[in-house]
């Protein structure tokens, strides 16, 4: 049984500890590699005021009833999709948090300079919020902002200064009219960007879905549990993060171990993500790769170039070059299929035209 962040117990397959490596979905038991990763993980562990951020991923109940701690496993690498997780971008340097921190519930009359002054004691920072440059406003319009620290160590200092209440962090901030108002501090832990649910299965990029509009507080483990409850067969979930600050971009990926679960997910098109305070309807699409050969001609009719189109209709689920797309989708019943292409931020996009 597995309990994660206050959710109901969920049956999950074996979850491997930190001292095991994954290479494209397979366990690598090289002794030197195991020792290196174990030392790396140990070096990155320090005590913080917010214990929940440093606790293991969860507990597994053994047959004898004993609860055993398990740590989140390092992510496997999807062989074709480009990864934007912190594990593939230098978290081995010892960093544990994104330098970008959410702060919510700010006083309505606090401006940018006052926010900066309130948090400058933790280190150099820049205050930002959505559409700040366009609006030219001095006040966060929705009562929240982002703190962009120069150094990751500043985030740890901020966490140490916070007060914990129900697994949430708070710090008192003052404005011209409100004194010592508790505001919520929400750091992003880098290891929360990836979660392996079933390490026994190799990852297949062609059984991976793109999830758009993922709420930024949602962790990979939570996304994995939600999708597994809905469709089953989840072996991996990842939260896409930006390369520089390693903060969630609002999208994720989920890899399934079987075709049935994969088809069920993409056929649904939308899914309701419900966890704690989160309740949001998000879009699910096939994860489109940009390095696949045409499944019909294997590059023979397109000069060996990679196939630009993917058909997400369950009767196809194949990659096509332009020639083969036109040929296959001129057949009755397929003329209204829409090709998907890969665009920025790994987001699949449906073309507004069809081939006849």
Q: Give the model's pLDDT for residue 343.
A: 60
Residue 22 lies in a domain: no
Give the pLDDT band of residue 70 (cuts 50, 70, 90).
very low
Query: What is the CATH classification number for the domain harbouring 318?
Result: 4.10.640.40
Report the C-alpha gap between 141 and 181 in whole angstroms.
17
Residue 13 lies in a domain: no
Whether 278 and 296 map to the same domain: the answer is no
pLDDT top residue among 180 and 166: 180
Report the C-alpha gap between 135 and 127 in whole angstroms.
15
Q: Give the model's pLDDT for residue 45.
A: 33
Whether 137 and 159 map to the same domain: the answer is yes
pLDDT (average), residues 39-64: 33
Q: Give the model's pLDDT for residue 43.
A: 34
Whether 163 and 210 map to the same domain: the answer is no
Residue 255 lies in a domain: yes
Q: Give the model's pLDDT for residue 92.
A: 53
With b for 16 or more beta-carbon neighbours within 10 A and e for fewer, the 243-259 pattern comes to eebbbbbbbbbbbbbee
pLDDT (average), residues 237-245: 94
pLDDT (average), residues 315-324: 92
Report the C-alpha gap between 129 and 125 in whole angstroms.
13
Whether 139 and 207 map to the same domain: the answer is no
Whether 112 and 181 map to the same domain: the answer is yes
pLDDT at 352 over 90: no
The angle that helices 220-231 and 259-268 make with each other, rounded to 10 degrees, is: 100
Going from the C-alpha of 143 to that of each of 108, 110, 184, 218, 250, the distances in angstroms are: 6, 9, 11, 20, 20
Residue 317 lies in a domain: yes
Query: What is the CATH classification number for the domain harbouring 144?
Result: 3.30.70.330
Residue 18 lies in a domain: no
pLDDT at 78 over 50: no
pLDDT top residue among 198 and 24: 198
Whether 306 and 262 map to the same domain: the answer is no
The residue range of the domain holding 307 is 290-346
Contact predicate 262/256, CB 8 Å: yes
Whether 213 and 276 map to the same domain: the answer is yes
CB atoms within 10 A of CB 49: 14
Whether 157 and 240 map to the same domain: the answer is no
Residue 261 lies in a domain: yes
- Within 147-235, where are the H helices? 152-161, 220-231
Give the pLDDT band of residue 207 (cuts 50, 70, 90).
very high
Give the DSSP H or E segment for 61: strand 58-61
Out of 37-46, 213-222, 227-236, pick the least confident. Answer: 37-46
Three-class secondary structure of residue 169 per DSSP: strand
Give the pLDDT band of residue 174 (cuts 50, 70, 90).
very high
Residue 59 lies in a domain: no
Mean pLDDT for the chain overall = 76
Domain end, chosen from 167, 189, 211, is at 189
Whether 302 and 329 map to the same domain: the answer is yes
Give the pLDDT band of residue 342 (cuts 50, 70, 90).
confident
Residue 136 lies in a domain: yes
Domain end, chosen from 159, 189, 219, is at 189
Handedness of CA 288, 231, 23, 246 (dihedral sign): positive
Q: Could you give the number of structural domains in the chain?
A: 3
Report the C-alpha gap between 48 and 164 in whole angstroms.
11
Helices and strands per DSSP (H, E), number in the chain: 7, 21
What whole-number percentage of the chain has pLDDT above 70? 70
pLDDT top residue among 109 and 52: 109
Domain end, chosen from 286, 307, 325, is at 286
What residues contact 230, with CB distance under 8 A and at least 6 apart?
Answer: 265, 268, 271
pTM exceeding 0.95: no
Contact predicate 9/3, CB 8 Å: yes
What pLDDT digit, counting tens, does each position of 250-308 carry? 999 999 999 999 999 999 999 998 888 888 999 999 998 888 999 999 988 998 999 99
pLDDT top residue among 59 and 248: 248
Angle value at C-alpha 320, between 318 and 323, nearest 5 degrees: 150
């Amino acid at each position: 049984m597995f309990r994660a962040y206050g959710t109901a117990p969920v049956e999950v397959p074996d979850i491997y500890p930190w001292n095991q490596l994954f290479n494209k979905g397979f366990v690598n038991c090289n002794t030197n590699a195991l020792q290196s990763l174990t030392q790396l993980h140990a070096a990155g562990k320090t005590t913080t005021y917010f214990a929940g951020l440093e606790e293991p991923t969860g507990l597994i109940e053994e047959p004898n009833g004993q609860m055993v701690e398990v740590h989140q496993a390092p992510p496997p690498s999807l062989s074709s999709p480009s990864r934007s997780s912190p594990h593939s971008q230098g978290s081995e340097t010892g960093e544990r948090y994104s330098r970008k921190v959410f702060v919510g519930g700010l006083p309505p009359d606090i401006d940018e300079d006052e926010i900066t002054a309130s948090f400058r004691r933790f280190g150099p920072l820049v205050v930002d919020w959505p559409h700040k440059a366009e609006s030219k406003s001095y006040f966060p319009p929705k009562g929240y902002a982002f703190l962009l620290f120069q150094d990751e160590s500043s985030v740890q200092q901020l966490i140490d200064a916070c007060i914990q209440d129900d697994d949430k962090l708070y710090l008192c901030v003052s404005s011209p009219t409100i004194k010592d108002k508790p505001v919520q501090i929400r750091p992003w832990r880098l290891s929360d960007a990836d979660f392996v649910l079933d390490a026994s299965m190799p990852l297949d990029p062609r059984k991976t879905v793109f999830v758009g509009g993922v709420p930024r507080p949602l962790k990979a483990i939570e996304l994995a549990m939600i999708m597994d409850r809905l469709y089953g067969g989840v072996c991996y979930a990842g939260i896409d993060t930006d390369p520089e600050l390693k903060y969630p971009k609002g999208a994720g990926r989920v890899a399934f171990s079987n075709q049935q679960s994969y088809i069920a997910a993409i056929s649904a098109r939308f899914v309701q993500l419900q966890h704690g305070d989160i309740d949001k309807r998000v879009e699910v699409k096939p994860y489109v790769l940009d390095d696949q050969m045409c499944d019909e001609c294997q590059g023979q009719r397109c000069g060996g170039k990679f196939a630009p189109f993917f058909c997400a209709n369950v009767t196809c689920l194949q990659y096509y070059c332009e020639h083969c797309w036109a040929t296959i989708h001129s057949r009755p019943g397929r003329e209204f299929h829409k090709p998907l292409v890969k665009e920025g931020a790994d987001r699949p996009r449906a073309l507004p035209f069809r081939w006849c």
